[in-house]
Structure 1
Amino acid sequence: MRGTRLLELPEDFWIPIPLDTDNITSLSPFRVPQDHLGNLSTFYTMAGFTFFLFVVGTSINALTIACTMRYKKLRSHLNYILVNLAVANLLVSVTGSFTACCSFTFRYFIFGPLACKIEGFVATLGGMVSLWSLAVIAFERWLVICKPLGNFAFKPEHATACCVVTWIIALVASVPPLVGWSRYIPEGLQCSCGPDWYTTNNKYNNESYVMFLFCFCFAVPLATIIFCYSNLLLTLKMVAKAQAESASTQKAEKEVTRMVVLMVLGFLVCWMPYASFAVWIVNNRGKTFDLRLATIPSCLSKASTIYNPIIYVLLNKQFRTCMLSMLGIRDAEEEVSTTQSVTEVSKVAPA
């Protein structure tokens, strides 16, 4: 990129502009292609990637919801949370990925300032619900398998309450930019919208909002996931040691360990770049950076609409069987009970 200077317009956007440009309005990300930020191949590559996220993410998550509505056997308490996750992913896919695809195709945010605020809010809302749903899933597994509360039974009403809480927390996190604590503006290559990580305008208190999101909506869910799955793995290892002669228990321990590693890695791949970038921006005000690189964390977070259902749904035998049946790939439904690994672990888990 050629030499730039930073420019902030108070209400709608923040952009780096070429040093030899004086006509600010002519470079508005709501009016003209942002070709000074990247070449055509960069924009079209991102358009293709976000189109892929939109098509695949929408399909997988919509199918998850449809299967749950059709098959009663999928309406367990854990699957309530998976459906909650699918709804959140669907919001991000339909709103965030679709608008980004269209905007990358035209090389600027074609929908205007109001749509930018709406898209930023809805994508942030869905992302926060997704983050906290992953934490709830980990918490539920910890309660069921490790039994820290003894014989406490995690019932459907508990799962429903947890889903409601994820939406309340997400609203607490996503509404502030609409009412003056930070704001939603175009980010990266100016073709998608999100919270304002970039500016130091005291009117919006962006730094405090970024740190709030990092601590409350990234660090806390991550700590919950690590704590719950670490204890789950320790419990499984004790079970495997106690049943050393049981081949099925040893197999279950390996499978669950592999699944936990995938879950934690998926969380980190989707959200660590975005959270790290936001904190870096806050703590390195005035330093230059390439907005093409700033677009990558945003796209990785949107890619969670595919990663999450692959890890949590498609690798779930019940969901996978019902999806194949619904798509006509199987001739008849295959009754699938709760996995043997969970049953065996639950029987010998400490009370």
Structure 2
Amino acid sequence: MSSNSSSATFYNDTPTAQPTIFPRSGYSILSFLMFLNAIFSIINNMLVIAVTIKYPQLRNPMNVFILNMSFSDLMMTLFGTTIVVSTNYHGYFYLGETFCVLQGFAVNYFGIVSLWSLTILAYERYNVVCQPIGALKLSTVRGYRGIAFIWTFCLIWAIAPLFGWSSYALEGVQTSCSIGWQVRSWSNYSYTITLFLTCFIIPVGIIGMSYSKILISLYKLNRKIEEQGGKTSREEEIRVSVMVLFMVIAFLVCWLPYAIFAMIVVIDPTLYMSPLAATLPTYFAKTSPVYNPIIYIFLNKEFRSCAVKFLTCGHMSLSTLEEDTASVEIVVIPKENQVAPSQ
């Protein structure tokens, strides 16, 4: 049995025209979850953008890719997540076919831009850490050239369905639009396979290679310092390892379901997928704007310090908070364990 892609029909905004392929309570739950997703995504990414613009020390060539990611994530939320909040509330895509195509294009475009921003960021970090002249190569001009490449390269893939190579259409429970990967056609198959290679396999390979080499380089550096009798920062090695682990897991949680379901359609065109199963992959992808800022920005001490100053209008800094915490820790030390300083 084929997928439910044939039911991708646009309905007039009348109660009698609404589809019933999914329980009304299910639409309400999806609307609420996407509402929470949109709120956190907008707050997180707007904070990243505002803080980066306000504090010049954050606008270095490396952070320009993070700023680019936050902007694309914000756009994906505004053009994607907020729309599905409304359409799920209504229980169907009431905005019409033209708006469906525009939404599908925007989500695809900004999603790929965010994905490739993470990929180039990983590669540039590898250059700086593992290559002797990597830090010298990473200039502001190089950073902006990388941004220009990302937006141009991703635009090619986003506009291709507008010219007949695949298409943008309703998906799953019929409340959101994306690439018509459920459509059984050779045009869609070839586009899906090519997009899978260029926007999943290659990025995963670059990210995995880059961060693996960074961890190996950090490990070798610590071993060399220990052999020379120096003291290494084991905490820093653990912090970087945990951060990389979260990066890879978040990336796979976001994009792996989408890639798997798209390829399943290509491998077995006769396989039937329920509307909910066909919807979940793109909804997982829409969660990336929430945790990307947390993983790539808020784990950065310099940014956290600037964010605290920004949120408190300069009345408090991260160093002040740490000093206050340290003073509290000193106060609670039992008296019998204290040693008076020498005079």
TM-score using structure 2 length: 0.86
Given the superposition, is the C-alpha separation of residues 253 and 117 from structure 1 closer, same or farther in structure 2, using an over 3 Å criterion?
same
Q: For 1:34, give the aligned amino acid.
A: P
- For the pair 1:241 / 2:233, whether they are aligned, the reply is no
* Alpha-carbon distance in 1 for matches of 2:292, 2:232: 27
* Alpha-carbon distance in 1 for matches of 2:231, 2:93: 56
Out of 234, 250, 271, the position equivalent to 2:255 is: 271
Aligned counterpart, 1:226: 208
Contact 2:45/2:71 (8 A) holds in 1 = yes
Q: Which whole-Å deviations, capped at 9, do the CAs of 1:8-49 have from their partners, x for residues lacking one?
A: 6xxxxx328xxxxxxxxxx645654332x2112211111011
Aligned counterpart, 2:72: 88
Structure having the higher Rg? 2
213-222 vs 280-289, greater mean Cα deviation: 280-289
Aligned counterpart, 2:34: 50
Given the superposition, is the C-alpha separation of residues 306 and 248 from structure 1 closer, same or farther in structure 2, using an over 3 Å criterion?
farther
Contact 2:166/2:179 (8 A) holds in 1 = yes
Out of 290, 295, 299, the position equivalent to 1:306 is: 290
Given the superposition, is the C-alpha separation of residues 30 and 196 from structure 1 closer, same or farther in structure 2, using an over 3 Å criterion?
farther
Out of 187, 192, 199, the position equivalent to 1:217 is: 199
* Alpha-carbon distance in 1 for matches of 2:162, 2:19: 25
* Alpha-carbon distance in 2 for matches of 1:77, 1:198: 40
Given the superposition, is the C-alpha separation of residues 69 and 30 from structure 1 closer, same or farther in structure 2, using an over 3 Å criterion?
farther
Q: Which whole-Å deviations, capped at 9, do the CAs of 1:250-283 have from their partners, x for residues lacking one?
A: 2211111111111111100100001111111121
* Alpha-carbon distance in 2 for matches of 1:297, 1:184: 16
Contact 2:130/2:214 (8 A) holds in 1 = yes
Given the superposition, is the C-alpha separation of residues 5 and 219 from structure 1 closer, same or farther in structure 2, using an over 3 Å criterion?
closer
Given the superposition, is the C-alpha separation of residues 335 and 80 from structure 1 closer, same or farther in structure 2, using an over 3 Å criterion?
farther
Aligned counterpart, 2:234: 250
Aligned counterpart, 1:127: 111
* Alpha-carbon distance in 2 for matches of 1:168, 1:237: 37
Q: Which has more helix, going by share of residues?
A: 2
Q: CA deviation at 1:324?
A: 2.0
Q: Secondary structure at the match of 2:247?
A: helix
Aligned counterpart, 1:34: 19
Given the superposition, is the C-alpha separation of residues 56 and 247 from structure 1 closer, same or farther in structure 2, using an over 3 Å criterion?
farther
* Alpha-carbon distance in 2 for matches of 1:328, 1:28: 48
Q: Secondary structure at the match of 2:297?
A: helix
How many residue pairs match? The answer is 315
216-225 vs 143-152, greater mean Cα deviation: 143-152
Given the superposition, is the C-alpha separation of residues 312 and 246 from structure 1 closer, same or farther in structure 2, using an over 3 Å criterion?
farther
Given the superposition, is the C-alpha separation of residues 107 and 243 from structure 1 closer, same or farther in structure 2, using an over 3 Å criterion?
same
Q: For 2:291, give the aligned amino acid.
A: Y
Given the superposition, is the C-alpha separation of residues 176 and 30 from structure 1 closer, same or farther in structure 2, using an over 3 Å criterion?
farther
Contact 2:3/2:271 (8 A) holds in 1 = no
Aligned counterpart, 1:343: none
Q: For 1:33, give the aligned amino acid.
A: Q
* Alpha-carbon distance in 2 for matches of 1:270, 1:330: 35
Contact 2:4/2:275 (8 A) holds in 1 = no
Q: For 2:236, give the aligned amino acid.
A: A
Q: For 2:18, give the aligned amino acid.
A: P
Q: CA deviation at 1:248?
A: 4.8
Q: CA deviation at 1:183?
A: 0.8
Out of 304, 315, 324, the position equivalent to 2:299 is: 315
Contact 1:121/1:184 (8 A) holds in 2 = yes
Q: Which whole-Å deviations, capped at 9, do the CAs of 1:34-81 have from their partners, x for residues lacking one?
A: 32x211221111101111111111111111111111111111111111
Q: CA deviation at 1:150?
A: 6.2
Structure 2: stretches of 5+ with no match in the other structure: 321-343
Q: Secondary structure at the match of 2:7?
A: strand
Aligned counterpart, 1:261: 245
Aligned counterpart, 1:141: 125
Q: Secondary structure at the match of 1:286?
A: coil
Given the superposition, is the C-alpha separation of residues 186 and 325 from structure 1 closer, same or farther in structure 2, using an over 3 Å criterion?
same
Q: Secondary structure at the match of 1:175?
A: helix
- For the pair 1:170 / 2:162, whether they are aligned, the reply is no
Query: Where in structure 2 are the equivalents of 1:174-189 lying within 5 Å?
Result: 174-189=158-173
Q: Secondary structure at the match of 2:233?
A: helix
Q: Percent of counterpart pairs with the same letter? A: 30
Structure 1: stretches of 5+ with no match in the other structure: 9-13, 17-26, 337-351
Q: CA deviation at 1:148?
A: 5.7
Q: CA deviation at 1:153?
A: 3.1
Q: CA RMSD in A?
A: 2.1
TM-score using structure 1 length: 0.84
Q: For 1:305, give the aligned amino acid.
A: P
Q: Which whole-Å deviations, capped at 9, do the CAs of 1:100-133 have from their partners, x for residues lacking one?
A: 1100100111211111111100110110001101
Q: For 1:88, give the aligned amino acid.
A: S
